[in-house]
Amino acid sequence: MFADGITLKGSYHKINQDNFKCLKLDKGVIAVLSDGLGSKRFSHIGSEAVCLSAAEIAKSLRNDLTVISPIDFVYKTYCLWKNKLSAYDLQECCATMLAVIIYSGRGFALRLGDGFLGISGTDGISVLYDKKADSFINETDCFGNNFNMENMESKEFCADNFNGAVMCSDGINIGTMSAEDLICFTREFISGYKNQKRSYISADISSWLQDWDGCDDKTLVYLFS
Per-residue model confidence as pLDDT tens digits over 83-138: 999 999 999 999 999 999 999 999 999 999 999 999 999 999 999 998 864 444 44
With beta carbons less than 8 A apart as the criterion, state whether 159 and 106 touch: yes
- 95's CB contacts (< 8 A; 6+ apart) are 34, 35, 36, 37, 43, 46, 47, 49, 50, 113, 142, 143
Per-residue model confidence as pLDDT tens digits over 13-40: 789 999 999 999 999 999 999 999 988 9
Residue 139 has what pLDDT? 47
- 143's CB contacts (< 8 A; 6+ apart) are 46, 50, 78, 81, 90, 93, 94, 95, 96, 97, 112
160, pLDDT greater than 80: yes
Span 125-153, mean pLDDT?
A: 78
Residue 13 has what pLDDT? 74
Per-residue model confidence as pLDDT tens digits over 171-205: 999 999 999 999 999 999 999 999 999 999 999 99
- The whole-model pTM stands at 0.94
Angle 43-61/70-84 helices, nearest 10 degrees? 130
How far is residue 46's CA from residue 28's CA, in Å, rounded to a whole number? Answer: 26
Span 133-160, mean pLDDT?
A: 79
SS3 category, 161: helix
Domains annotated for the chain, with CATH where assigned, are 2-224 (3.60.40.10)
140, pLDDT greater than 80: no
Per-residue model confidence as pLDDT tens digits over 38-57: 889 999 999 999 999 999 99
- 72's CB contacts (< 8 A; 6+ apart) are none
Residue 18 has what pLDDT? 97
How far is residue 220's CA from residue 139's CA, in Å, rounded to a whole number? Answer: 22
